[in-house]
Amino acid sequence: MEKRIPVTVIKTLSDTDGIMTALKAYGIFTSEITLRTDCAIEAIELAKKNHADMYIGAGTVLDGKSCKAAIKAGAEFIVSPGFSFDVLEICEERGIPYYPGCATPTEITTAVNAGLNVLKFFPADLYGGIKALKAFASVFAGVKFIPTGGVNAENEGEYLALPNVAAIGGTYLVADALKKYGGNI
């Protein structure tokens, strides 16, 4: 797993190649394409077809139906803002990593008891950010987190320095890559 995972919102299918190319030029070969737009499933399929060297996942996966569609399109990992037993079951059946959003000790415990040990910490800034992750470290010793929501270029180093952080995620990574390498997108 890369240490930085762009949360990628593709509004127009024709932007997919340009965004993936900009991310690679920026040195990032992973993208969590969110299911927040009408073209997201097609964008996952296009990204996998044209950028086979990238690790493409689906984000904002809220239910089993969208999970199945994302996996069918080629998603190699699934991210959701909260925990879903339906999504977990589908991912386990297909051998696809699932990173559910968990922010409270109860949610984390539920995910851990379901067999997961890498969780999205979302929204990180609203639930205590770095201080919360430090507190979780001793209680949830075997759990790694992917904080998103409030992570940015100014604080990513602080997050990545924590031993219980597997990676960080954010839309800012796409914006930075496009600013530097994106051309007309």
Catalytic residue among 32, 45, 48, 156: 32
Q: What is the pLDDT of residue 45?
A: 98
| 58, two tokens | 């689906």
Catalytic residue among 89, 120, 131, 156: 120
Closest CA to 36 of 171, 179, 184, 177: 171
Q: What is the pLDDT of residue 74?
A: 98
Global confidence as pTM: 0.96
- List pLDDT tens digits, range 11-67: 999 999 999 999 999 999 999 999 999 999 999 999 999 999 999 999 999 999 999
- List pLDDT tens digits, range 153-174: 999 999 999 999 999 999 999 9
Q: What does the alpha-carbon distance between residue 18 and residue 162 come to, in Å, rounded to a whole number?
A: 33
- List pLDDT tens digits, range 95-140: 999 999 999 999 999 999 999 999 999 999 999 999 999 999 999 9
**In the annotation, is 32 catalytic?**
yes
**In the annotation, is 93 catalytic?**
no
All structural domains of the chain, each given as residue ranges with its CATH number in brackets, are 4-181 (3.20.20.70)
Assign 79 a pLDDT band (cuts: 50, 70, 90).
very high
Q: Indicate whether 184 pLDDT > 80.
A: no
Q: Judge whether 56 and 76 are in contact, CB under 8 Å.
A: yes
